[in-house]
Structure 1
Amino acid sequence: MTIQPPSPAIVAAQQAQEKLEACLEAEANFRLEAGAGAGKTYSLVAALRKLIAERGTALLNAGQRVACITYTEVARNEIAQEIEQHPAILVNTIHGFGWSFIAPFQKQLRDLVAAQENRQEAIEAAGGIHNQTVEYNLGFFGIDDKRITLHHDDIPKYLAALLANPKFQKIFSSLHPVLFIDEYQDTDPLVMSALSDQFFATGTGPIIGLFGDHWQTIYRKDYQLAEFPNVEPIDKGSNFRSVPDIVDVLNKLRPELVQHVDDETAQGEARFFHCNAYTGERVDSRNGKAELPAELSVSFINSLKAQLEAEGWDLAPAKTKILMLTHNAIAAERGYPNLANIFEHKEAFSKKEDATISFLADTVEPICLAYIAGNYGEMFRFMGGLPTIRKSADKAEWRAQMDQLIALRADGTIGEVIDLLKNTLRPRLTDRVAKREAEIAGLGPDETPDESKSLKRHRKLKNVVYRELVALVEFINGFTPFATQHSVKGAEFENVLVILSAGWNHYNWPKFLESLQTGNIPAKEQASFARWRNLFYVAISRPKKRLAVLATQTLGPQALAAAAHLFGAENVLSLPVPQA
């Protein structure tokens, strides 16, 4: 029987794991940079299993645990299951881990709250800070004579503040002799700076292992590779996800981290399509330079989808993901045109930067969906805890209010939903949304000349039917790489169609391709280029078998040359103008 040699991807993975384990043996900090499809979580779990096998019993006897900080609850659960919930390993999100560490230090937490200038009015109204219990559950700041509740943002901030104190550095190290951070590039910058200043730079503290990929940073503003002192770099040059045709594109885009494929004979495709055949008038707005007219853009997209389907693509959602990095034409197609028209900068709603959109999308919608599905445990988790139900009338009132919310979700406006929540507090409005409501109540029902832009937008939002918000959330979670739960980042699909269009003021795809080709990137545009590059990389690295990219804006010679370099000249194709 002939024994097959390991694949190139496996060989590269083994080499990276050996370097990682050598760092653990030498008690050295390290950073595993793992490109898309490299198997970052596999490496992390393998390292945890090694620590369990070699040090698990000793850790438990010493009252210590390896800490593993994850970016999401989904990742936390996945890793915890892989290590069978071993008691020597503490796996948690940054907020869960941070709170578990800082919660015992009540006096210090009260001092930190007291030092915040933006909370002095609330503190004074509550009669000051004395011996209240500091809690963290709902994620909103509050204070009365008995308790102080912390905001989500307080947790990493206060963790970083305590780690600046040598006393707490010693406590931290004694509790957690090893610390792993998953998706380090998206971890709160205050926490990363504290670890760098207090542990990396000083050569003290726990062994710290960073796992991630700075090319997949799409949630923070710092897109470059962070320079941490005394951290051993380890590149994992594997790709277990994609066929060679796709990995070739990734390697041309990122030659400094060459990936090796798992199956060198696997068949697939990677093609780039453009719409330069249309020579008629194009959109020329601030965020829509050289873009197709709205109706024609949709026609080109539908034409390409029909062509791909005729060529054998299965466009069913289970097989093909369509990633639309897109403009208002698609917003209209997806069912939220009025929301799109309200915001000059599309990131305000696509990335949920607007406080009202964020509250509705990240709190109200999950609660509604959980209630509709009968998943009450999940619903109460998003609500912030179990309701107080003392008698059957309480339960009936709670159900009636939720049923009213579901009815408004289907037939009401965003304003009607917010007005209901102001009365029921199920869920309670966030501080920023409540503040906007209070300001509008004080100004009256009509817009005033001196109102802020955010208040004017909030007024307009309240008049939009809530169904548009539902459509927007479906789009965010299912059709773009912007989902907060990494629903695309980290995911993989058999086929992927990426639509590169205008309309996002933070993304300029023709300019990205031109800069890629010329290498001429002025210093002031370095961050923008890295942002464009990272999102493009995340999008095109999702497919296992087939990749198609469609650019709807006019592409100049340099941009087309960049596409030819990445995909091969024979795979850069001009789509014919769709027939009316």
Structure 2
Amino acid sequence: MTTEAPSPAVIAAQDAQDRLEKCLGLGKNFRLEAGAGAGKTYSLVAALKRLVTERGAALMQAGQQIACITYTEVARNEIAQEIEEHPAILVNTIHGFGWSFISRFQKQLRALVAAQDSRQEAITAAGGIHNQIVEYNLGFFDIDSKRITLQHDDVPRFLASLLANAKFQRIFQSLYPIVFIDEYQDTDPLVMSALAENFFVTGTGPVIGLFGDHWQTIYRKDYQLADFANVEGIDKGSNFRSVAAIVDVLNRLRPELTQSVHDEATKGEARFFHCNAYAGARTDSVHAKRELPPEISVKFIESLKNTLIADGWDLDPRRTKILILTHNAIAAERGYPNLADIFDRKESFVKKEDATIAFLADTVEPVCNAYAVGNFGEMFRLLGGIPTIRRPADKTELRSQMDKLIELRKSGTIGEVLDYLKQIKRPRLTDRVASREEEIAALGPDETEEESNSLKRHRKLRNVHYKEIVALVEFINGFTPFATQHSVKGAEFENVLVILSGGWNHYNWPKYLELRHTGIIPAKDQGGYYRARNLFYVAISRPKKRLAVLATQELSATALASAVDLFGSEHVHALPIP
């Protein structure tokens, strides 16, 4: 009986895992650089399971744990489930983990709060800082005579501050002799800097394993591979997701991390389409050079869809994801055109960079959705705890308040929802949103010349129907067949259609293709180049079987040559005018 030889992807993955485990055995820090589809989480979980087998009992006996810090709650749950919530492993997000460590140092936390200039007014109003309990639950800053409540950003900031002290470095290592960081490239930069300066550079501290891919960073401004001292680099050169046709494109795009496919026999495709055949007038705005008029763009997209269907694609959303790497084209389609008009940078509201959008999307909407489906445990968690209910009337009042909030979401404006939340305080406004509301109340209903742009934007937001927030959140969460790359990072689909269009402030697709082809990237263009590269890389690496890319802006000969480099001349097609 013959044993089937392992695939090239399996061989490459095993080589990376062997190097990783060797580092753990020698007590060396390492960074596993795992490209899209390489199986990063599999490597992380496999390492944790081996550590549990070899050292789990000894760690528990010593009162120690292996810390595994994740970027999202979803990743936390996935990893915790894989290791069966083993007590020798602490799996948590950076905020959850950070708080579990710093919460024991109440005196030092009070000192850190007292040192913040921006909070002096609130501290004075509360009668100063003495022996209050420092808590972290709701994510906004507050202080009274008994308690100090930390803001979300305080947790990584204070963790980094404590790790600068030799005493806390020793305590940290004694509790967590091994630390894994998932998606290291997107981890809070203050925390990463603290680890680098206090542990990597000095060659002391716990053994730290970094798992991630700097080509998939989308939330930070540093797109280069970080040069950490005393950290061994390990490239995982495998791809268990995509067929060879797609992996070939990824390897041409990123030759320094060549991936081997798992199943060389499975057929698939990777094609690039452009609209240079259109000779009519084009849009020529600041962020959409030589773009198709909206109505013509829609016709080209529909024409391509028909072509793909004729070639055997199933465009059912369960089989095919359409990634539109712009935003104007879908804002009206998905039901939030007024929100899109308010923001100069369209990605800023999709990425929830605006404080009001973030509060409504990350707090108000989850609270309302949990209430609507009867998940009261989750609702109370989001609200910061179960409210005091002493009599039936309290319960009736809570229901009445939530019912009215649900109704306002359907019929009211953002301003009306905010006004109601200020009244019921469930959920409570974050500091930044409350501050904007207070400024507007003080200045009056009419805009003034002295107001900041953020305050002017907040005034406009107040007049938008709240149902646009509901539509935006549905879009961000990927409940529709359309999505931007930010909502699909880490996901995979059978087929993917990527549409490269104008409209983003940070992404100029024709220019990216040109710079990629020439290899000459001026300093002033480097930020835009790497942002576009990473977005493009993540988008085209999602499909398992079929990939199609459509560029709606006019492409120069150099940009087209770049597409030919990546996809091959036989797979680059000019769409006919529809």
On the 8 A contact 2:36/2:239 being kept in 1, the answer is yes
The question of whether the paired residues in 2 share the 8 Å contact of 1:30 and 1:231 is answered with yes
Q: 1:477 — aligned with what?
A: 477
| SS of match in other structure, 2:233 | strand
Structure 1, gaps ≥5 residues long: none
Does 2:49 correspond to 1:46?
no
Counterparts of 1:53 and 1:481, CA distance in 2: 41
Aligned mates of 1:302, 1:376 — CA distance in 2: 43
User: 1:290 aligns to what SS in structure 2?
Assistant: strand
Structure 2 match to 1:461: 461
Aligned residue in 1 for 2:448: 448
Contact residue 184 and residue 210 of structure 2 kept, 8 A: yes
Q: 1:380 to 1:317 in 2, by over 3 A?
A: farther
Instruction: Tell me the CA shift for residue 380 of structure 1.
Output: 2.1
Inter-partner Cα distance in structure 2 for 1:394 and 1:567: 64
Q: Partners in 2 of 1:55 and 1:278 — Cα distance?
A: 65
Deviation at 1:502, TM superposition (A): 0.7
| Match status 1:198 vs 2:198 | yes
**Alignment partners' CA distance in 2, 1:175 and 1:207:** 12
2:177 is matched with: 177
d(CA) in 2 for partners of 1:274 and 1:42? 37
From the superposition, tell whether residues 544 and 39 of structure 1 become closer, same or farther in structure 2 (CA, over 3 Å).
same
Q: Deviations over 1:148-199 (max 9, x none)?
A: 0001101111111111110011101111111110111111111111111111
The secondary structure found in structure 2 opposite 1:68 is strand
2:292 paired residue number: 292
State the superposition RMSD in angstroms. Answer: 1.1
Quick one: which amino acid aligns to residue 491 of structure 2?
A
SS of aligned partner of 2:283: coil
Kindly report structure 1 stretches of 4+ aligned residues shifted beyond 4 Å: none
Contact 2:326–2:484 (8 Å) recurs in 1 = no
The answer to whether the 8 A contact 1:140-1:430 is kept is yes
| Matched AA of 2:106 | Q
Give 3-state SS (helix, strand or coil) of 2:226's partner.
Answer: coil
Name the counterpart of 2:61. Answer: 61
Count of equivalent residues: 575
> 1:215 matched to which residue of 2?
215
Shift of residue 527, structure 1, vs aligned partner: 2.1
Deviation at 1:307, TM superposition (A): 2.1
Counterparts of 1:327 and 1:156, CA distance in 2: 32
The reply to whether residue 507 of structure 1 matches residue 507 of structure 2 is yes
1:95 maps onto 2:98 in alignment: no
Percent of residue pairs identical? 75
* Structure 2 length-normalised TM: 0.98
SS in 2 for 1:134: strand
Deviation, structure 1 residue 481: 4.2
Report the CA distance between 1:510 and its aligned residue: 0.5
* 1:321 and 2:341 are equivalent in the alignment: no
Amino acid at match of 2:483: T
State the one-letter code of the partner of 1:39: G
- After superposition, residues 132-151 of structure 1 pair within 5 angstroms as 132-151=132-151
**Letter of the aligned partner of 2:66 in structure 1?**
V
Could you tell me which residue of structure 1 aligns to residue 307 of structure 2?
A: 307
CA contact (8 A) 1:476 1:482 kept: no
Contact 2:325 2:485 in 1 (8 A): no
- 8 Å CA contact 1:60, 1:87 repeated in 2: yes
Q: Is contact 1:295-1:329 (8 Å) kept?
A: no
State the shift of 1:482 in Å. Answer: 5.2
Partner AA of 2:474 in structure 1: E
Residue 26 of structure 1 corresponds to 26
Give 5+ residue unaligned stretches, structure 2. none
Match of 1:561 in 2: 561
Structure 1 residue 524 displacement after superposition: 2.4
- AA aligned to 1:454 is S
Give the equivalent residue in structure 2 for 1:128: 128
CA contact (8 A) 1:67 1:91 kept: yes
8 Å Cα contact 2:249/2:567 also seen in 1: yes
Is contact 2:485–2:535 with CA below 8 Å preserved after alignment? Answer: no
Q: CA deviation at 1:82?
A: 0.8
Question: How far apart are the structure 2 equivalents of 1:279 and 1:330?
Answer: 24
User: What corresponds to 2:83 in structure 1?
Assistant: 83
Cα displacement (A) at 1:394: 1.2
Residue 426 of structure 1 corresponds to 426
SS of the aligned residue for 2:527 comes to: helix
Alpha-carbon contact 1:351-1:482 (below 8 Å) kept: no
CA contact (8 A) 1:273 1:548 kept: yes
Structure 1 residue 401 displacement after superposition:
1.3
- Aligned partners of 2:331 and 2:376: how far apart in 1? 32
Match for 2:53: what amino acid?
A
Q: CA deviation at 1:450?
A: 2.1
Secondary structure (helix, strand or coil) at the match of 1:209 reads strand
> Deviations along 1:304-335, whole A, 9 cap, x unmatched?
22222232211122111111111423211222
How far apart, CA to CA, are the structure 1 residues paired with 2:297 and 2:66? 52
TM-score under structure 1 normalisation?
A: 0.97
Q: Is the 8 A contact 2:327 2:347 kept in 1?
A: no
For 1:480, give the aligned amino acid: A
